[in-house]
């Protein structure tokens, strides 16, 4: 018994004992019974909320980057790109049956009577070329395996150089043959179309002869004496006539890119040989020129229409970018 006044014998007097308190007044009293916790009006954080809390500003940047990436991919698939216009493969006209192939195809436009001050089609400055050849051709030795699916057509070709044409200035005969083979085997060339297959041969009778030819022989083989150097396909001779002048100098529209011009020269004239007889205009202003457009004379419709006012190319002001391929996106 606690007796601070000492009235009861045996009682304990604690009046002189020190007072004791708990060291942590905020701690719960161990002698006090716990009651139920009050319910708190809080919501569980969503997955999106946790994502934002974890990544901060990056949570907002990531969706934006994803959308931008998707748009870039879609633009690439649709053929968009820098440089203006569209990169979607332009058309190359109707394919004519082999039976309809005769005469000179791809001759220069008009009647061969052009003004002396031609605004287009002029020959760029450059290396030397052969004015006159012998009028006969030598076959470059070599053959290739067939390339292309060939679902409908199989074409064989030789590579030939006119006698009198000196190819040492641009790599020799074999270099010309390699350029022709690699161009036609490229997936952006005619073999992209599953209808076609090609193989190079060096003996027998091929379907056509791809022939690098001097200036004067080219003019004779392509129909008439003209002031614009160009190439053609002479179906009566089964000969793709490639102007050596243009092989060396190229064309103004190609802005000095001789390699691309040679690829265009090959693809355009072989296009005539396999049945694409008609020339095409620039279709999309700022886009790629069709391979069957006469890009040697320019990539503007107005320039070509001025050479042949009664032709298929309209005077509509459209201007294309040079293009050496039937299927420029492969």
The reported pLDDT for the residue numbered 7 is 47
CB-side neighbour CA atoms (13 Å) of 199: 13
Cβ atoms of 299 and 293 closer than 8 Å:
yes
| Strand 137-139 versus strand 153-162 pairing type | antiparallel
| Core vs surface per residue 19-50: b (16+ CB within 10 A) or e | eeeeeeeeeeeeeeeeeeeeeeeeeeeeeeee
Phi, psi of 242 (to 5 degrees): -100, 120
Class of residue 164 by CB neighbours under 10 A (exposed 0-12, middle 13-18, buried 19+): middle
- Say what the pLDDT of residue 310 is: 80
Confidence (pLDDT) at 82: 36
Digit-coded pLDDT (tens) for 225-279: 557 899 999 999 999 999 999 999 999 999 999 999 999 999 999 999 999 999 9
pLDDT digits (tens, 9 = 90+) for 192-232: 999 999 999 999 999 999 999 999 999 999 976 557 899 99
Residue count of the chain: 330
Dist CA 262 CA 242 (whole Å): 9
Rounded Cα distance between 174 and 46, Å, is 71
Residues with Cβ within 8 Å of residue 265, at least 6 apart in sequence: 231, 242, 243, 246, 247, 296
Residue 76: the pLDDT is 41
Enclosing H/E stretch for 260: helix 258-273
Taking Cα atoms as reference points, which of 265, 233, 211, 256 lies closest to residue 98? 233
Q: Is the pTM of this model over 0.75?
A: no
Smallest CA-to-CA distance from 261 within 108, 124, 161 is with: 124
Structure tokens at 172: 């020799």
> What confidence score (pLDDT) does residue 66 get?
57
In Å, what is the CA distance from 191 to each residue of 5, 64, 146, 152, 322? 121, 41, 10, 12, 21
Residue segments in the chain with a per-residue pLDDT below the cut of 70: 1-89, 98-101, 108-120, 224-226, 330
The whole-number pLDDT of residue 311 equals 82
Residue 104, SS3?
strand
Helices 58-78, 47-55: inter-axial angle, 10-degree rounding: 100
What integer pLDDT is reported at residue 92 of this predicted model?
81
N-term to C-term CA, the chain: 106
Report pLDDT for 186: 97
- The angle at the Cα of 243, spanning 96 to 191, to the nearest 5 degrees, equals 40
Neighbours of 89 (CB within 10 A): 20
The pLDDT of residue 309: 80
Task: Fill in the DSSP letter of residue 136.
Answer: -
């Amino acid at each position: 018994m606690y007796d601070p006044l000492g009235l009861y014998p045996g009682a304990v007097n604690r009046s002189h004992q020190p007072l004791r308190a708990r060291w942590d007044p905020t701690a719960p009293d161990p002698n006090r019974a716990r009651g139920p916790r009050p319910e708190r009006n809080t919501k569980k954080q969503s997955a999106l909320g946790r994502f934002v809390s974890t990544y901060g500003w990056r949570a907002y940047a990531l969706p934006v980057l994803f959308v931008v990436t998707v748009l870039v991919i879609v633009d690439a698939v649709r053929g968009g790109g820098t440089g203006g216009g569209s990169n979607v493969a332009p058309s190359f006209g109707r394919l004519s049956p082999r039976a309809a192939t005769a005469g000179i195809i791809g001759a220069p436009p008009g009647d061969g009577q052009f003004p002396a001050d031609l605004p287009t089609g002029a020959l760029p400055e450059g290396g030397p070329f052969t004015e006159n050849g012998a009028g006969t051709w030598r076959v470059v030795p070599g053959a290739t395996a067939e390339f292309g699916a060939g679902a409908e057509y199989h074409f064989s070709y030789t590579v030939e150089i006119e006698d009198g044409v000196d190819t040492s200035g641009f790599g020799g005969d074999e270099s010309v043959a390699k350029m022709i083979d690699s161009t036609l085997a490229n997936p952006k060339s005619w073999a992209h179309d599953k209808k076609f297959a090609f193989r190079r041969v060096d003996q027998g009778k091929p379907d056509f002869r791809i022939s690098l030819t001097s200036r004067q022989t080219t003019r004779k083989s392509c129909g008439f004496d003209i002031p614009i150097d160009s190439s053609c396909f002479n179906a009566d001779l089964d000969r793709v006539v490639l102007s050596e002048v243009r092989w060396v100098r190229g064309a103004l529209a190609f802005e000095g890119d001789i390699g691309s011009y040679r690829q265009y020269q090959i693809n355009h004239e072989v296009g005539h040989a396999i049945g694409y007889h008609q020339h095409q205009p620039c279709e999309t202003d700022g886009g790629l020129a069709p391979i069957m457009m006469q890009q040697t004379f320019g990539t503007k419709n107005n320039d070509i229409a001025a050479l042949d006012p009664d032709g298929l190319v309209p005077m509509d002001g459209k201007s294309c970018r040079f293009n050496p391929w039937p299927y420029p996106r492969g």
